[in-house]
Amino acid sequence: MTPIKQIPIADRLIVALDVPQASEARALVEKLGDSVQFYKIGLELFMAGGYFELLDWLVAQQKKVFVDLKFFDVPETVRSAVRALSSSGASFATVHGNQAIMEAAVRDKGALKILAVTVLTSLDRGDLDDLGFACDVEKLVLSRARRALQTGVDGIVSSGLEAPMIRRELGDRLLVVTPGIRPVDNKPVDDQKRTVDVAQAFRNGADYIVIGRPIRQADDPRAAASAVQRTIAEVFS
């Protein structure tokens, strides 16, 4: 395991609020209570309306917020978007672009931590072929991680499968946020392809994990989140 950063144990679990309406997101947050301290809000909620009101509400509830909108645009537009977001109280935001975009994103970020997306956990080798990338997943992830480090972003979003390689090559200089976490066997209908379980993600080098459906769709979401938190505590004990 990599050296332990000064991250509160309870903050290492980020729950993805990938639900159709802001009201549904609030209801889930209230149901989860103190079992979760960190939430990701992404494109689905952004398109549903009430996104920034939800962000403000989460911050007022003393929750940490990961804005996962994967900014990808003209560098100056990305810089302006990050600057506007920097005063919102959000903790993390994602960018998904080239060196100029990442450099622009960090220019006026303030205390907001910028995460560069490497390769989506829903993609595998066949998908990269379709997209025209003539390299394997590991090489592409490492290339993007190195570029992220050079441009001064705070961390990356990476599968737990590639985290050991990132730690071996780049050490502890980047935060690693790992989605595609499956506490139990992946269901055939699931669109995540490159997955690991909770303990393995952290042992591989993740600083944070993102979990959505396994908690949201559990019979008792709060119990499911609490079980994940216990596993995390055991890993870092």
pLDDT tens digits along 138-174: 777 788 899 999 999 999 998 888 889 899 999 999 9
The domain at 9-236 falls in which architecture? Alpha-Beta Barrel (3.20)
* pTM for the whole structure: 0.88
pLDDT tens digits along 222-236: 999 999 999 999 999
Q: Please give the Cα distance from 198 to 95 (Å, whole number).
A: 25
Q: How far apart are the first and last CA of the chain?
A: 12
The residue ranking higher by pLDDT, 70 or 193, is: 70
Token pair in block for residue 116? 């560069």
Asked if 15 and 38 count as a contact pair (C-beta separation under 8 A), the reply is yes
Beta bridge partners of 66: 40, 92
Q: How many helices (H) and strands (E) does the chain have?
A: 11, 8
Q: Is 19 left (phi over 0), alpha (psi -120 to 50) or beta?
A: beta
70 counts as catalytic:
yes
Catalytic residue selected from 5, 31, 64, 70? 70
Q: Which of 100, 204, 208 is nearest to 157 (CA)?
A: 208
The stretch 198-226 carries a mean pLDDT of 95
Domains of the chain by residue range: 9-236
Range list of H helices, 72-204 = 75-85, 99-107, 125-131, 137-151, 163-170, 198-203
